Amino acid sequence: MNVLDRRTLIGAALALGACESAAQGPPVPVEIGPLRAAAPFPLGVCAQVSHIEDPEWARLAATHFSQLTPEWEMKMEYVVQPDGGFRFDRADRLAAFARAARMRLYCTTLIWYAQRPEGFEKLDESRTSFGRAYDNYITAMVGRYRGQAAGWDVVNEAVAEDGRGWRESLWASRLGDFDHMRRAFEVARAADPDAVLFLNDYNLETIPRKLDTFQRLVERLLNAGVPVTGLGCQSHIDASLPSGTYTRTIQALARFGLPIHVSELDVSIVRAGRGQRRALEERQAGLYAEAMEAFMELPAPQRFAFTVWGLRDRDSWLKRENASDTPLLFDDLGRAKAAAAGLAAPLGALQPLASLYGNENRAT
Ligand code: G3I
């Protein structure tokens, strides 16, 4: 089925929804098949312990997803204690849930400018003890999930917000702008010879200078022999993103020949600005479709995983920014929305329109 037909199907689902709920009520849910069964690559979702304790969340996630990323409880903010000790209880619970649900584990994040826990800050200025603690932390984290973790965001958001150079951070100031990144990848590789090691960043779709600086950083790391073996495109986009922009971004990242992780996809309605809700929801569905199509067009060895950053709208981090945002595939009750239809169509997992239009139009 070509892209236009897929988009037509999605548009029909939305149009039907709009007809049946002309009032600005919740979107009419669509029906989709199990996404994980339809995808020839891992489909990921992020999770917190509070999510896996919810049987409805667990059932829906295990139905549609084959990879799980701890949303925050495997990060320094939770793991590293003020005395420098570590606590892994919640990360372990999330890893155990993934195993039980036959989901791959993807881990985020080892080194991130946004997190500088007290345990590290208090270390003395001497590079030796700070460096030793840095290595010890990475070794402990990566070693603990060796054999289960398919990959790690080793360095997260290294490029400056505006793309002019790299971010400042505790890690850069103590261990060197480039060296702290080289060191993180090398220590992670020593702790797990098999995990795919990612450089992960966001707004690569919307800030050309940022994408360019990211690509030059990748080149510098690779040329220095640093074991960067995957590239993560977080993909926190909004419904105003022009068609084709996302595709061009993924194509640009794919030029290195490394595995690509669409690592944190959500499509904000609110961040898109003013617009008729239904029209924004149609754009949102179209962007989910475009993201999936762009990913599916990659060579199979480069299709590491396609991860959405939350299961139900109510689970999204964006709710803290604006409670009316509905950026994800499933509504607050866990019902698939048009956004899910957008993602399902390229996978051939979009079901209801065939029943609406008879078998001759069955989504393939
Ligand atoms: O659940 C606790 C709650 O019990 C406690 O009272 C409250 C106050 O301390 O904290 C709550 O945990 C918060 C958690 O989100 C769940 O809401 C953490 O403080 C908060 O730091 C955490 O934020 C996460 C954030 O990364 C920082 O780790 C978000 O969930 C998560 O979506 C967000 O994800 C990031 C990616 O890692 C990188 N890309 C951007 C993305 C969105 O910011």
Q: 225 or 351, which is more confident? A: 225
pLDDT tens by residue, 96-118: 999 999 999 999 999 999 999 98
pLDDT at 5 over 60: no
Q: Whose CA is nearest to atom 4 of ligand 1?
A: 50
Share of the chain above pLDDT 70, in %: 88
Pairing of strands 230-233, 104-107: unpaired
Distance from residue 72's CA to the centre of ligand 1 (Å): 6
Residue 26 DSSP label = P
DSSP sequence for 231-293: EEE--EEETTSPTTHHHHHHHHHHTT---EEEEEEEEESGGG-S--HHHHHHHHHHHHHHHHH
Q: Rounded mean pLDDT of the chain? A: 91
To which residue do tokens 């993909």 refer? 235
Catalytic residues: 157, 264
pLDDT band at 359 (very low <50, low <70, confident <90, very high): very low
Is the beta carbon of 205 within 6 A of some atom in ligand 1?
A: no
Distance from residue 144's CA to the centre of ligand 1 (Å): 22
d(CA 69, CA 126): 34
pLDDT tens by residue, 170-227: 999 999 999 999 999 999 999 999 999 999 999 999 999 999 999 999 999 999 999 9
d(CA 269, CA 285): 11
d(CA 251, CA 310): 25
Is the beta carbon of 71 within 6 A of some atom in ligand 1?
A: yes
Burial of 336 (0-12, 13-18, 19+ CB in 10 A): buried
pLDDT tens by residue, 130-181: 999 999 999 999 999 999 999 999 999 999 999 999 999 999 999 999 999 9
114 backbone dihedrals φ, ψ, rounded to 5°: -75, -10
